[in-house]
Amino acid sequence: MLYLNSPLAKLLFANRSIHYLGEISYSLHLAHPLFMPIKIRSQPLLDQAIGSASHYVVLIIAVGATILFSIMLYKLVEMPGRRFFSQFSTRKGVLYQVAH
Q: SS3 of 46, please?
A: helix
10 assigned to some structural domain:
no
Element (H, E) at 76: none
Q: Could you report the per-residue pLDDT of 32-83, keeping only the tens digit for each?
A: 888 888 878 888 888 888 887 888 888 888 899 999 999 999 999 999 998 8
Residue 19: what pLDDT? 84
82 assigned to some structural domain:
yes
1 assigned to some structural domain:
no
Residue 3: what pLDDT? 65
Cβ of 23: how many Cβ atoms within 10 Å? 13
Cβ of 66: how many Cβ atoms within 10 Å? 20
Range of the domain at 85: 15-99
Give how many domains the chain has, as a whole number. 1
23 assigned to some structural domain:
yes
Element (H, E) at 24: none
